């Protein structure tokens, strides 16, 4: 009974509907639209090898960035002028090393302090790493180029971290996921404030006059809040899957599972904030004070790699950083044990907040 009543109350609240669907949907759409311009990076290429392989790689890079052909003498000048984000050099013999199953060490340059190159750097590295893996399963040069073409066309896949990271749109998806985390936390915080509203309206007192126990009352509330977040997750991931990222496939299913687990963490954290607040107004202010820094420090707004090392270490002690890490591990296809470790830590955060929140307060009624 309480579950159904909470459903109606939460869905009637315009703020809840805003954080549940409208706000994250608008952000997802904006992220997609702003990042659909393919030539957002400027990559300088010094091609001293000048082979069929390097031409293929340059063609693939051109799908992600504006490429500018350079010679070694102009590298320093271009970097000083900051007219190029990233410069990569294909030395003589690069193709021979790849085809003969050897690691090709690619020389690269960028301006220290400028982080805009990181995405394209990872993409280039993933192309070269995947090319090396293809060479290892190819017996002849002709077979290598044939397999490489099939791989780039999506006809064959490789089980590796770098292959998954090179899939189209993963960087955009990670940006969208960070804002979904934020919207889930705000939705959970706003929903759990119903406890305080009921307290001030004396609704809780009337409920406890009935045979229902305190534990039963709290459990039913938790279930209702969790189900609301589950609906939010399925709505947003349906939007992401069917409109933008259908090609990501099984990795997106893993991310979906991560968010279903994090929904419980959000509810637990929301209950904790409600439990330490005296009234709904204080709970609203507290949620803003806590959630925004959690998202900033956890890598929801920008990659953790952009932050100083001491903040990266501090981020290990908050749940938002672990869900972002779990999403990256799912999308980049890391070892299953590492992915499961991420999930386990997220569950531990849920249990921790729940244990604190489940303690009955004398002024709850």
Q: List, as one string, the DSSP characters of 203-229.
A: HHHHHHHSS--HHHHHHHHHHHHHHHH
**What is the C-alpha radius of gyration for the chain, rounded to an integer number of angstroms?**
25
pLDDT band at 259 (very low <50, low <70, confident <90, very high): very high
Q: Report the alpha-carbon distance of residue 48 to residue 92 in Å, rounded.
A: 5
Pairing of strands 107-109, 86-90: antiparallel
Please, which pLDDT band fits residue 160 given cuts at 50, 70 and 90? very low
Neighbour-count burial for 189-218, b at 16+ CB within 10 Å, e otherwise? bbbbbbbbebbeeeebeeeeeeeeeeeebb
Give percent of the chain above pLDDT 70: 71
pLDDT digits (tens, 9 = 90+) for 33-57: 555 444 467 888 999 899 999 999 9
Predicted structure pTM score: 0.62
Structure tokens at 233: 């997750």
Looking at per-residue pLDDT, the higher value among 281 and 46 belongs to 46
How high does pLDDT run on average in the chain? 77
User: What pLDDT score does 250 carry?
Assistant: 55
Q: How far is CA 363 from the centre of its chain?
A: 39
Give the Cα separation of 105 and 91 in Å (integer). 9
């Amino acid at each position: 009974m309480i579950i159904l009543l909470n459903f109606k109350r939460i869905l009637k609240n315009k703020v809840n509907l805003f954080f549940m669907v409208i706000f994250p949907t608008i952000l997802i759409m904006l992220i997609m639209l702003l990042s659909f311009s393919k030539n957002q990076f400027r990559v300088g290429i010094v091609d001293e090898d000048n082979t069929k392989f390097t031409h293929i790689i340059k063609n693939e890079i051109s799908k992600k960035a504006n490429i500018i052909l350079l010679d070694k003498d102009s590298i320093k000048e271009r970097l000083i002028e900051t007219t190029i984000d990233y410069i990569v050099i294909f030395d003589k013999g690069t193709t021979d090393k790849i085809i003969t199953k050897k690691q090709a060490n690619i020389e690269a340059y960028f301006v220290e302090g400028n982080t805009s190159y990181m995405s394209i750097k990872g993409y280039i590295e993933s192309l070269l790493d995947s090319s090396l893996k293809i060479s290892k399963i190819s017996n002849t040069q002709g077979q290598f180029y044939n397999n490489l073409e099939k791989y780039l066309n999506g006809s064959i896949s490789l089980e590796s971290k770098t292959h998954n990271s090179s899939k189209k749109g993963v960087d955009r998806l990670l940006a969208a996921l960070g804002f979904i985390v934020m919207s889930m936390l705000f939705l959970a915080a706003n929903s759990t404030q119903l406890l305080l509203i009921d307290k001030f309206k004396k609704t809780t007192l009337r409920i406890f006059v009935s045979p229902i126990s305190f534990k039963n009352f709290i459990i039913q509330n938790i279930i209702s809040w969790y189900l609301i977040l589950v609906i939010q997750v399925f709505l947003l991931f349906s939007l992401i899957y069917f409109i933008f990222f259908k090609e990501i496939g099984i990795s997106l299913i893993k991310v979906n599972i991560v968010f279903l687990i994090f929904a419980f963490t959000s509810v637990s954290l929301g209950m904790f904030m409600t439990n330490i607040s005296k009234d709904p107004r204080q709970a609203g202010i507290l949620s803003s004070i806590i959630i925004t820094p959690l998202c900033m420090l956890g890598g929801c707004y920008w990659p953790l790699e952009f932050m100083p090392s001491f903040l990266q270490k501090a981020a290990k002690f908050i749940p938002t950083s672990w869900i972002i890490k779990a999403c990256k591990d799912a999308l980049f296809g890391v070892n299953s044990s590492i992915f499961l470790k991420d999930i386990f830590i997220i569950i531990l955060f849920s249990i921790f907040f729940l244990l604190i929140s489940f303690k009955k307060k004398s002024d709850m009624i």
